[in-house]
Chain A
Amino acid sequence: MKKRGLADRVVKVITWGCASCSLLGLGLITLFLFREAVPLFSRVSFGGFLFGAVWRPTSDPPSFGILPMVAGSALVTFGALLVAVPFGIGVALFIGEVLPQGFRDLLKLSVEILAGIPSVVYGFFGLVVVGPWLQGVLGLPTGQTALLAALLLGVMALPTVASVAEDAVAAVPDSLREASLALGATPWQTMWRVVLPAAKSGAFAGVLLGMGRAIGETMTVLMVSGNSPVWPPSFLSPVRTMTATVALEMAEAPVGGLHYRALFAVGGVLFLFVLLLNLVGELVAHRVRRGA
């Protein structure tokens, strides 16, 4: 009895320790990120940084406008959502409403595998297969465009959207489906007019989380988006995202220099974006799970 009490206490201390470590880690990363970034703004105005249209960190004088990269990230992310949202929600409805029980787990598993593919594999696939194909079909000077990045990111964000939306679909009480069917609605009408509206806030959470996934993705966009740090004239031109900028330039920026600090500031902007998306997304998803 006494021994058991001791073991309980030890386990409690260990789990508390682990939990505090992850919190501490998060806190330290945040602190470090902003500590490295903030001195930039003694030399560069905040507005000029966020809304400046020219990114020439190594010129003399240097210019640190991240707007082209914000635009690149936005373009690629929204493009990804155009792929991930309809397909993700479609997959969720298909799993929850159409497939017979036995096949559900199979499809769920394959969606999860999709989430487990390393991003460099997506990037490689985009680079050697999808990119050249797009280039040929659309007659572009290069296949490495916002469109290509958006397509791949869309597929990568799809599992996030699908699995959260699928939870929401599963949380719709069966009594609503019965009510609809008993009124003479077809399963199709029931799905569109009852299940989907009832699951919409959960599906929305999935969209936000998928967006967070897409905006933070680095390796794939680095490989396939063309990385040109200028204002993107169209969806069919090369772009550079915020993530790719940090990844590309960090190695060549002297530690403690302005360029170095500017890259940390880009990281800070990304961090705040993704934090906000995940916070709102988790909040909505949590409410859905509790059946609110």
Chain B
Amino acid sequence: MVTKTRPVEVNQRIEAEAPAFRVRNLSFFYGREKVLKGITMDIPRHRVTAIMGPSGCGKSTFLRVLNRLYERIPGAKATGEVWLDGENILDPRLDVVALRRKVGMVFQKPNPFPKSIFDNVAYGPRIHGVRGRRKLSFIVERALRQAALWDEVKDKLKRSAFDLSGGQQQRLCIARALAVEPQVLLMDEPTSALDPAATAKIEELVRTLSQGFTVVIVTHNLQQAARVSHHTAFLLSGELVEYAPTEELFTRPKDPRTEDYLTGRFS
């Protein structure tokens, strides 16, 4: 059987277990500029999928389609289909609040609220109607443990989040996202503002998180993609060039452009 487009063929090598996202022919426009060009891929459940590529390749945009955060930008438009739990999340009638409860996000720079550590983590549950100190305390502790931050902050939950170091702030933001019990965690270059030690901690955390969550991580750091992900997608100028199990993509790239990128011929 002859397949016409490469991505579909590539996808067949990604394991068949029901994927978290099915992306079908996704294109994205800022005004008249086409930023993503017909991307088709399955993002597997309970795995870490890395999206890598040079600056401006559309990888952050791709992430912001998965929780519809792109809608804030005037003139932004997505076409195609992205399926999650039997729903096309690009459907304008979709409940974005419900979507974003399922799909959490961590940003490039740590962005804690100017509130206490506790209130940062409790923010999500509170806006979704969780009341009662004991219930909230339970959720906050669980989320901070999941984010490997509990031991460092358990005695100072009332202190401002700004008293934490950059790496701790980023783990706090991860805890804040986990507190609403999402299925998916989107991470947009989560270590780009951090030092190597803090980066190592976050990477270790990402690997652990994939046991309970689907993680999609955007990075322009090749080593990071290699270290943390099960699958890697390589985007170039809005096009999905190659998508394969990470080890395969790094050791036996099929596309010459992937090879060029891996060997540092362009950045």
Binding site for B on A (CB under 8 A): 100-101, 173, 175-186, 189, 193-194, 197-198
In the assembly, what is the distance between CA of A86 and CA of B220, in Å? 46
In the assembly, what is the distance between CA of A186 and CA of B128, in Å? 10
B111 contacts which chain A residues (CB < 8 A)? 173, 175-176, 178-179
A173 contacts which chain B residues (CB < 8 A)? 111
Q: Indicate which residue in A178, A186, A198 contacts B97 across the interface (CB closer than 8 Å).
A: A186
* 15 new A-B contacts at CB < 8 Å, known A178-B69, A178-B107, A181-B69: A175-B111, A179-B107, A179-B111, A179-B113, A180-B127, A182-B100, A182-B107, A183-B127, A183-B180, A184-B100, A184-B128, A185-B124, A186-B97, A193-B127, A198-B113
The reply to whether the CB of B105 lies closer than 8 angstroms to some CB of chain A is yes
Q: Is the CB of B113 within 8 A of A182?
A: no
Smallest CB separation, B136 vs chain A (Å) = 15
Q: Indicate which residue in A101, A176, A181, A184 contacts B113 across the interface (CB closer than 8 Å).
A: A176
Smallest CB separation, A70 vs chain B (Å) = 37
Smallest CB separation, A99 vs chain B (Å) = 12
Interface members, chain B 79-113 (any A CB < 8 Å): 96-101, 104-105, 107, 109, 111-113
Write 7 A-B pairs (CB below 8 A) sorted by A numbering: A101-B74, A179-B113, A180-B123, A182-B177, A185-B97, A194-B113, A197-B115
Binding site for A on B (CB under 8 A): 67, 69, 72, 74, 96-101, 104-105, 107, 109, 111-115, 123-124, 127-128, 173, 176-177, 180
Q: Considering the complex, give the chain B residue whose CB is closest to the CB of A200.
A: B114
Smallest CB separation, A22 vs chain B (Å) = 37
Q: Indicate which residue in A177, A189, A198 contacts B127 across the interface (CB closer than 8 Å).
A: A189
Q: Is the CB of B104 within 8 A of A182?
A: yes
Q: Is the CB of A175 within 8 A of B123?
A: no
Contacts A181-B100, A182-B67, A183-B177; A175 near B107 (Cβ below 8 A): yes
In the assembly, what is the distance between CA of A175 and CA of B108, in Å? 10
Q: Indicate which residue in A100, A182, A189 contacts B69 across the interface (CB closer than 8 Å).
A: A182
B104 contacts which chain A residues (CB < 8 A)? 182-183
B72 contacts which chain A residues (CB < 8 A)? 177-178, 181
A177 contacts which chain B residues (CB < 8 A)? 72
In the assembly, what is the distance between CA of A194 and CA of B177, in Å? 16
B97 contacts which chain A residues (CB < 8 A)? 184-186
Q: Is the CB of A175 within 8 A of B69?
A: no
